[in-house]
Amino acid sequence: MISAIGAVASNGMIGLDGWLPWDIPEELAYFERMVEGAALVIGRLTYESMDVVPVDSFIVSRQPDLALRPGCTRVASVEEGLLAALATGKPVFVIGGTAVYAAAWPYCHRFYLTRIEQAFSGDSLFPPEIPVEDWPIHEELVEVLLERRSGKNVMCRFLQYRQPNPRPLPVPRCNSKPVCSE
Ligand SMILES: NC(=O)c1ccc[n+]([C@@H]2O[C@H](COP(=O)([O-])OP(=O)(O)OC[C@H]3O[C@@H](n4cnc5c(N)ncnc54)[C@H](OP(=O)(O)O)[C@@H]3O)[C@@H](O)[C@H]2O)c1
């Protein structure tokens, strides 16, 4: 089971200056609750924005020598990250950012997407090519929550989309170790 989770403003923004464009503690708490105990697949910039990164986190980066915190492993592609995360036996969550969602969505069974029904300034977008609108909504919860920077209430829709036919992950390519014959 592979899931993705994220939150998006009504104008498609997901990030600003390396963090979220909004300050909605309940939404952050929802995210933390949902991914607790899971293996995570994380883009390098999102990883760097996090104060706490749980064990069994797989950081997608093209930098072979990237230094990471204990419990974190660099992977060179989203597919490699998903395979490694699945191998832990834990539930798997893809937590963004933009390019990681864009590469991972075909493999995701579920997308937990919080739609924040207000526009925010930002510099990272939810990938518009992800066809979540075409997927059935399995669960929806609507809450009006305080956005602390503006001091105003915003409507948040906590949606669970289910992709009808996720793509199977590619079989890992055999490397050149002698035990492997292709
Ligand atoms: N609202 C939300 O739910 C949500 C979720 C996640 C993040 N965010 C926000 O979004 C922003 C960060 O996201 P971002 O989109 O800018 O960056 P990101 O996806 O977290 O990280 C981008 C980096 O990941 C690596 N990468 C991405 N795709 C790859 C691929 N296919 N293969 C290999 N490496 C790949 C590259 O690292 P290297 O440069 O090391 O090669 C790339 O520079 C922050 O503001 C964060 O707070 C919001």
pLDDT at residue 174, rounded to an integer: 65
**pLDDT tens per residue across span 12-22:** 999 999 999 99
Ligand 1 proximity of 49 Cβ (cutoff 6 Å): yes
Does residue 97 sit within a domain?
Answer: yes
Is residue 104 a part of any domain in this protein?
A: yes
Q: How far apart are the first and last CA of the chain?
A: 29
Whole-number Å distance, alpha carbon 59 to ligand 1 midpoint, is 9
In a domain, 140, yes or no: yes
Q: Which atom from ligand 1 is nearest to the alpha carbon of 101?
A: 19
Q: Which domain range does residue 91 map to?
A: 2-162
Domain membership flag for residue 77: yes
Cα–Cα distances (Å) from 171 to 83, 103, 168, in that order, read 9, 16, 9
181 C-alpha to ligand 1 centroid (Å): 35
Nearest CA to ligand 1 atom 32: 77
Query: What pLDDT does residue 64 have?
Result: 96
- State both tokens at 80: 């490699």
Evaluate: CB of 19 within 6 angstroms of ligand 1.
yes
Q: Is 14 in the pocket of ligand 1 (CB under 6 A)?
A: yes
- Residue 7, ligand 1, Cβ within 6 A: yes
Q: What atom in ligand 1 is closest to the CA of residue 96?
A: 6
| CA-wise closest residue to 101 among 158, 93, 155 | 93
What is residue 181's three-state secondary structure? coil
Which residue, among 9, 75, 26, 22, has the nearest Cα to 47 in the 3D structure?
75
- The total of structural domains in the chain comes to 1
Does 173 reside within a domain? no
CATH number assigned to the domain comprising residue 132? 3.40.430.10
Round to whole Å and give the CA distance between 89 and 117: 35
Q: pLDDT tens across 32-55, in order? A: 999 999 999 999 999 999 999 999
One digit per residue, pLDDT tens: the chain, 182 residues?
Answer: 999 999 999 999 999 999 999 999 999 999 999 999 999 999 999 999 999 999 999 999 999 999 999 999 999 999 999 999 999 999 999 999 999 999 999 999 999 999 999 999 999 999 999 999 999 999 999 999 999 999 999 999 999 999 999 999 998 776 655 454 44
25 token code pair: 């503690």
